[in-house]
Chain A
């Protein structure tokens, strides 16, 4: 049956249906990445269009630039603290709300609402809530006799306010992922442990959490990937300020390119970001491509 003609036809068919996506990916992602890579070794003046090779100059320049280092630190702090808080709270809630209870599905559906809103909608409402003079949060604080907080204008506070917004929006996601994981563990496992006289703590740390280990890791990865990109929230809520208190790597790349037209520096910062992303993703990639291994 299987003639050579047929095999060749099959190969041709699969190449041709892959082709559109392949072209789009090459055009919109591979080619730009190569350009960014090359530009990162150049002094590129956008206005005159002149390019000059300067070797590692941009990298040296950036890695000693206080603003870049701050933005990188801010991104890491933001990324890890949101991920930690969301996964911790989400897991805790999933444990408390385990099993069936009245109103479970409506409860969960209502919890999904925040993460479906556009970032810009979320940012605007928190901007009103955070407002120093007329915001609800400060009103509550001052009415119970505490002093007002400069949520978005205090350099020590601003980054944590962004964290707060993300935690508000995405903890429900962590909750649902953990709930789904938890509910797919067979009841018998817990019943057996109860029969064997395990205490709640023992069950939690010896049975439940170890079973859910992969689920927790997956969740951490999904949230790290997402929060590492943070741009729109910064743009809408703080503009990177006060000072550089909420400057993130994405914001740095954006500013260098589209406000200062330092395309070489912007590209070098992009490449550093790419390396960070690839390093973070190695584990994820292994997991995703080899589900058997898990």
Chain B
């Protein structure tokens, strides 16, 4: 009786589960098998479901073609921009939770954060491009680190604000009575208490930064500074797409991010439970 629906006991239940998994996972399977096929096998009029002639050539070509460089660029930009956002976002979120700024500034700031989160980033592209050109931040990985703040900072402030809001005031008051300075309180009391929240924020920010395409495309010219999404598009852009290599570099872009999957699962399940938003 505890069960809400009865479909679970019907033989259709496992079948439905398998069908859903097939639909979900097939394209991912296809990325992997395509990357392991020879160029000839990849343009057969009737595609083969698994590599009849297994090859690692695509990986070799992609790696020799400089994709390790792209991988490094992506990791660098993602890591540094996330760290930067976490640092300044954490401080800002704490200030917004614990201090009432005049003129309803807290609300104004948060509303602006949400609007930026919702805004298509291309809207900001022209003025940012002009500004960054003057500051020699175009075609520069540090320029990307800075411009990624448009995505990651609102994200981090918003998420950390949510975590910090749930924190009871007592710990900080106790530390204050014990004579800790404000900075010590933030560093030694508040930060450890929301550590899991910070990790969660970091991972979601990493996923956002890893995916970024628009500003990377507009701001980066030299092939050796390209991030992975740019390199991937480079493989599509040719007159004749080399499907095997395209999929090999895609695999390269998947691996570093997919290690977080268990974590994302746990976070999402708890973040979206009713009443816990």
Selecting from A59-67, A80-88, A113-121, the interface stretch reads A113-121
A100 to chain B, nearest CB (A): 9
B269, A24: Cβ atoms closer than 8 Å: no
B121, A229: Cβ atoms closer than 8 Å: yes
Q: Which partner residue on chain A sits nearest B211 by CB separation?
A: A118
Selecting from B60-68, B111-119, B192-200, the interface stretch reads B111-119
Question: How big is chain B's contact interface, by range?
Answer: 35 or more
In the complex, chain B residues 86-123 whose Cβ is within 8 Å of any chain A Cβ:
87-89, 91-92, 94-96, 98-99, 101, 107, 109-123
Listed in ascending order, the chain B residues whose CB lies under 8 Å from chain A are: 1-5, 7-8, 13, 16-17, 20-21, 23-25, 27-28, 30-31, 34, 42-47, 87-89, 91-92, 94-96, 98-99, 101, 107, 109-128, 131, 146-147, 149-150, 153-154, 157, 182-183, 186, 207, 210-211, 213-214, 217-218, 228-229, 232-233, 235-236, 241, 243, 246-247, 250, 253-254, 257-258, 260-262, 264-265, 268-277
Q: Which partner residue on chain B sits nearest A187 by CB separation?
A: B2
Asked if A14 meets B98 with Cβ closer than 8 Å, knowing A25-B116, A232-B214, A289-B110, the reply is yes
A128, B34: Cβ atoms closer than 8 Å: yes
Bound CA–CA A291/B165 (angstroms): 12
Listed in ascending order, the chain A residues whose CB lies under 8 Å from chain B are: 9-11, 13-15, 17-18, 20-22, 24-25, 28-33, 35-36, 39, 93, 95-99, 101, 103, 105, 107-114, 116-129, 133-136, 139, 143, 168, 172-173, 176-177, 179-181, 183-185, 187, 190-191, 194, 200, 211-212, 214-215, 218, 225, 228-229, 231-232, 235-236, 249-250, 253-254, 257-258, 263, 266-267, 270, 273-274, 277-278, 280-281, 284-285, 288-289, 291
Asked if A118 meets B228 with Cβ closer than 8 Å, knowing A24-B153, A109-B265, the reply is yes
Asked if A105 meets B92 with Cβ closer than 8 Å, knowing A139-B47, A229-B120, the reply is no
